[in-house]
Amino acid sequence: MASPGSGLEWYQKLFADLRWVQPLHTSILFGCIVGAACAGVALVVGRIIPGMRSRGPLIALFLLPLFIPGVLMGVGLFIYYRVVLGFRMGGWAVMVAHFAWAFPFALLALLITTTRFDARLREAAADLGASPWRAFRDIELPLIYPGIVAAALFGLLLSFNEFSRSILLRGSVTTLPLYEWAQASAHTSNVPLVFSLSTLILIASLILISAAFWLLFGRAKE
């Protein structure tokens, strides 16, 4: 049993009060979906861009969401979906906003590997009778695999920790950052529990970020 004032008592109370579990599951689900979507779309776009001559404007277009403040993007999406199209807000709207925010980072992570890939390897595989899928699976994928994983991790982490866009598009959905904000803004005695939960989430995020950097840079040196 943790002694009073040690700080560990709040971690015990955290696991005794499990109201944060459902928001955690929601954030993990959204993060996995957004991460997979970011990796898939980035893979398609990232394989096309290196072969283009005028790729600068296209890359700038994909990076545009980085320069739009989160609240402004959330308001714009809310007005478009709710006022113009008449859609109800919910999990789908949150994931669209998360994807728009995370995709530029995922694309940049994948471009690190796709721009270094020698397209002549695909041509050599075709000359030897390999189908496009076989050439991609056996030759290209092993070389760009770290970028794909890193793109997925960036999408997952940015979605998992996203708040400013989610609050305007949430509908009845509550993600973990929204839950922590609601608990902290209530100024109740549960605020230390939020800090304890945030500490655990920070540690997990740092582990995943370290894995992403190792895949991008560590394996490239091997």
Residue 31 pLDDT: 92
Residue 179 pLDDT: 83
Q: Looking at per-residue confidence, does 51 or 111 come out higher?
A: 111
Tell which residue, 90, 71, 80, has the closest CA to residue 30: 90
CA dihedral for 63, 100, 156, 111, sign (positive or negative): negative
Residue 137 pLDDT: 84
Q: Looking at per-residue confidence, does 137 or 54 come out higher?
A: 137
CA–CA separation, 150 vs 108, rounded Å? 10
Domains contained in the chain, CATH given: 25-221 (1.10.3720.10)
Rg (CA), the chain: 21
pLDDT higher than threshold 50 for residue 129? yes
Q: Record the tokens describing residue 55, joined without a space.
A: 């790729």
Q: Record the tokens describing residue 54, joined without a space.
A: 């005028």
DSSP string, 166-207: HHHH-TT---HHHHHHHHHHTT-TTHHHHHHHHHHHHHHHHH
Identify residue 179 by its one-letter amino acid code: Y
pLDDT tens track for 3-45: 445 567 767 777 777 778 888 899 999 999 999 999 999 998 8
Mean pLDDT, residues 175-196: 75
Q: Looking at per-residue confidence, does 221 or 37 come out higher?
A: 37
% of the chain at pLDDT higher than 70 = 88
CA–CA separation, 27 vs 173, rounded Å? 10
Residue carrying the six token digits 């994948």: 110
In b/e form, how buried is each residue of 176-205, taking b as 16+ CB within 10 angstroms? bbbbbbebeeeeeeeeebbebbeeebeeee
